[in-house]
Amino acid sequence: MAVRKYEQFWGRRVRKVTRRRFHVPETLIYLGRAYEITYVCDKWNGGGDGTKALYRHRFAPGARLYMDETGRKQLYIMGSRIYVNDRGIVN
């Protein structure tokens, strides 16, 4: 499933699979309202031609930002309508 999601998001085949450990939090700590996320990548830009583009996703009211109980490395954006599909972050 992860390979399929990667290929849908980036618009190109996976070249290498790397396994990473993921901390599963016991508790999430509320930080505040999530307004938007902005990131730079080459997804869908000419089928992943290396050209970078800026992507900005504004969240609907009710989206919230959390951190895990360790306070490092992982942030969580949660909302009743947030998901990721082949077009990117949808809400």
Q: What is the dihedral of CA 66, 69, 74, 80, to 10 degrees?
A: -30
More confident residue, 78 or 49: 78
Per-state percent for the chain, helix, strand, coil, to nearest 5: 10, 35, 55
Confidence check: pLDDT of 45 > 60: no
Looking at every residue in the chain, the average pLDDT score rounds to 82
* Number of structural domains in the chain: 1
Q: How many angstroms separate the CA atoms of 45 and 52, rounded?
A: 7
Q: By residue range, what is the domain housing residue 62?
A: 2-90
Contact predicate 85/6, CB 8 Å: no
**C-beta neighbour count of 50 within 10 angstroms:** 7
pTM listed for this prediction: 0.69
